[in-house]
Structures are given as C-alpha cells and as structure tokens.
A = this chain, B = another copy of it.
C-alpha cells in the first residue's frame, strides 16, 4: 500500500511547479493575511541554476502587501482521483524594475484576463516543500453533486 504522505524532493517540487500555471499567493497587508489566485511561471537562470517564481499583477492590495511585507508563500496543487500533491514556496517577493521585468516576456506568463497588469513580481525562494498524498476519501458519496 502507498504511504499516505510522502515528501517530495526539491527537484520534484520545481518540476511540479513548472507544470502548473495556477497558484495561490498568501501575503500580509498591515496586520491581515490575504490570499489570491495568481497565474505564475518558474524562471530558471541556466547560468546560476537559480529558480524563482514570477507573476504579473496590477492589483493595488496585492502589490502593496508584497511591497510592505516581502514575506510571502505561494502554493500549487493537483488532485487526480485518489492522489493529491501540493508544493509550497516560501520566500521574499518584490517588484521587478523595468529592466528585469522583460524576463516575464519569454515565459508562459500572460495575464489570464485582459485587465491592465502593470508589474512583474518575483519570489526568491527561501524554502520549497512538497508533499504527495495517497487519499482515502470514504465520504465521497456525501459530497453534494
């Protein structure tokens, strides 16, 4: 039988993040915790082998939160039948300047919706962790249709 929870290696975590496009960003705004969905991409510098997370945003609160408290967490997950996986990147976030922001142009990182998006935010990872879950969902029949 599968182990119910297994830790993913750092390499597995990055490969998982690379295959996803929808993440959720948690950040602080003044004394509140906020959580928003973001379309992100993984940027990889082949020279330094450094990997970071990039996303676009124009939302005032989101940007303000990132600028005021750079400590953020981004999560991506997948649920297929009885198997789930979740990867969390904790790190520092900041707005890229104009010179750096062009890095987003070569990534699959266009805004999902055609509302104005002004900035590119980068998350420099402090910690990347991932877990796979072999699910036991005995209550599935109880879920509303």
State whether B35 touches A5 (Cβ < 8 A).
Answer: no
What is the CB-to-nearest-CB distance from A15 to chain B, in angstroms, rounded to a whole number?
Answer: 9
Say how far A33's CB is from chain B's closest CB, in angstroms: 5
Are A22 and B77 within 8 A (Cβ)?
yes
- Identify which of B5, B35, B71 contacts A88 (C-beta below 8 A): B35
Cβ of B37 and Cβ of A84 under 8 Å apart? yes
Cβ contact within 8 Å between A33 and B28: yes
Report the Cα distance A144→B20, complex, angstroms: 9
- Residues in B with CB closer than 8 Å to A110 are 136-139
Q: Given A34-B90, A110-B136, A113-B134, list of 14 further CB < 8 A pairs? A: A4-B114, A18-B144, A24-B75, A26-B34, A28-B28, A33-B72, A33-B90, A35-B35, A35-B73, A36-B75, A37-B84, A84-B112, A112-B133, A114-B136
